Structure 1
Amino acid sequence: MRQEMMEMRGQLEEQAFRIEQLQQESRDRYLDLDERMSRLNGQGHSGGKGESSSVAVLQPPILNTSVANPSEKRDQSVLKAEEAAYQSAFSLIRSKQFDDAKEALQQQLKAYPEGRYADNAYYWLGEVDMAQGRYDEARDSFQVVLSDFPKSSKVPDASYKLGRVYDLLGNQKKAKELLESVIKQYPESAASRLSDTYLRTMGGS
């Protein structure tokens, strides 16, 4: 059941990332269009530098791409490479090749230690280790999510899993503290509902 839950959460996570990417692309297109309209309306007849800017805006997309900032191109290339590495590791998790998945996630973090998917990679390292009974290692990975990525969307889930890990390690006091904090800080989250259920199995309130 644990492995099936991991697979389901993985699928949901992938869908969430796709939605996030589409939303970001939509926002980027809107901002780009807004900027172009502003230039056309405010600078189209100003001459000099303003006029040159308006002409550049009217160039075909292929020409705009050719003069794009090289650093932006590199950033996009790195992001795509990191995403490919992350998705590859995810495929290994879905196929239950946990040892290979762990190695792939570690390689991803080595190559992109501060990348966009770093928090997720640490989270799934924790999941993989937890599924295989490596609770000390799972604890360390979940803790990194909380310590190094406090604004990550994975924090509620990592907190819940960390609470479970502490329970499995025999530290019920720490486990309850974490689970109760999830309920208090993220009351509308799935992690909160899971924390409440788990606390009940521990005899908590």
Structure 2
Amino acid sequence: MRPVRIALLIAALGAAQAQAGVFDDDEARRQIADHRIKTEARFDQQAKAQLDLANQIQQQAEEIARLRGQIETLTYELETAKKRQQDFYLDLDTRLRKFEAPAASAADGADPAATAAQAKPAGDPAREAQEYEAALNQFKAGKYKDAATGFAAFVQKHPDSQLAPNAQYWLGNAWYAQRDCKRAIEAQSVVTTKYADSPKAPDAWLAMATCQQEMGSAGAAKRSLETLVAKYPNVPAAETARERLKKK
């Protein structure tokens, strides 16, 4: 009997170990499956995050391209407007210069000899014209600092030149283009006093009013416009002044 019991005990132990081995294999497979699922889930999350990041980068690139296009468009429009303004100024200056000296020398009843003697400039007209044109070309090219230097030198060197009122007026515009309204007003005030009979004087008053308005001196701007209308009622600048006064 005893050998039989021993044999049965050994068989039972073998069966238990075999069952335990089966359980161990199942647990290992379950853990492997869980690990694979978790790994795949992490991969999916990373792939989704990378896709979202790629979409964000693409959207940002498109927004940058759109903003760059807007900047280029605005820059072009600004340069075009600036060029049109400069061309307008230059064309107006050229037309006004045609009427300044001839009108004075052709006054009714004037003695031609005396008029010629009075109109004859002390300096070299050709040289003065070259210096004036050089400064004006600097302004046209947008080199406002150089233009201001050129015009200032011109009026200092040729204060009695027929081109001096024009140079003084453009000196004020050169300062205004540099956003220096204080110096612009100082320059234009010389035109309105020293060269009050010049065709540039009304425009100088108008330019002064613009600077005064930008500096917050609404009262001074109004007085400048009113003075312009009172002194020069029939010039184009006076009409512009009247329109501005209506809006105040």
Q: Into which bin does the TM-score normalised by the smaller protein fall? A: 0.5 to 0.7
Deviation, structure 1 residue 146: 1.1
Q: 2:183 aligns with which of 126, 134, 137?
A: 137
Please, which moves more after superposition, 1-10 or 140-149?
1-10
Deviation, structure 1 residue 143: 0.6
Q: How far apart in 1 are the matches of 2:186 and 2:227?
A: 19
Deviation, structure 1 residue 128: 1.2
Aligned position for 1:174: 220
Aligned position for 1:65: none
Aligned position for 1:160: 206
Aligned position for 1:45: none
Please, which moves more after superposition, 3-12 or 142-151?
3-12
Q: How far apart in 1 are the matches of 2:133 and 2:170?
A: 12
Normalised to the residue count of structure 1, the TM-score between the two structures is 0.67
Please, which moves more after superposition, 6-15 or 97-106?
6-15
Deviation, structure 1 residue 76: 6.9
1:197 aligns with 2:243: yes
Deviation, structure 1 residue 21: 5.2
Residues 96 and 199 of structure 2 are in contact (CA less than 8 Å); yes or no, is this contact kept in structure 1? no
In structure 2, do the counterparts of structure 1 residues 167 and 24 end up closer, same or farther at CA, with 3 Å as the change threshold? Answer: closer
Aligned position for 1:37: none
In structure 2, do the counterparts of structure 1 residues 77 and 140 end up closer, same or farther at CA, with 3 Å as the change threshold? Answer: closer
Aligned position for 1:147: 193
Q: Percent identity?
A: 22
Deviation, structure 1 residue 23: 6.3
Q: How far apart in 1 are the matches of 2:238 and 2:102?
A: 27
Q: How far apart in 2 are the matches of 1:191 and 1:170?
A: 21
In structure 2, do the counterparts of structure 1 residues 174 and 76 end up closer, same or farther at CA, with 3 Å as the change threshold? Answer: closer
User: Residues 3-22 of structure 1: matches in 2 within 5 Å?
Assistant: 4-20=84-100
Q: Which has the higher contact order (CA 8 A, sep 6+)?
A: 1
In structure 2, do the counterparts of structure 1 residues 103 and 163 end up closer, same or farther at CA, with 3 Å as the change threshold? Answer: same
Residues 142 and 161 of structure 1 are in contact (CA less than 8 Å); yes or no, is this contact kept in structure 2? yes
1:117 aligns with 2:197: no
Residues 6 and 127 of structure 1 are in contact (CA less than 8 Å); yes or no, is this contact kept in structure 2? no
Aligned partner of residue 9 in structure 1, secondary structure: helix
Normalised to the residue count of structure 2, the TM-score between the two structures is 0.57
Question: What 5-or-longer segments of structure 1 have no aligned partner?
Answer: 33-68
Please, which moves more after superposition, 106-115 or 18-27?
18-27
Residues 3 and 131 of structure 1 are in contact (CA less than 8 Å); yes or no, is this contact kept in structure 2? no
- Alignment RMSD (CA, Å): 2.8
Whose Rg is larger? 2
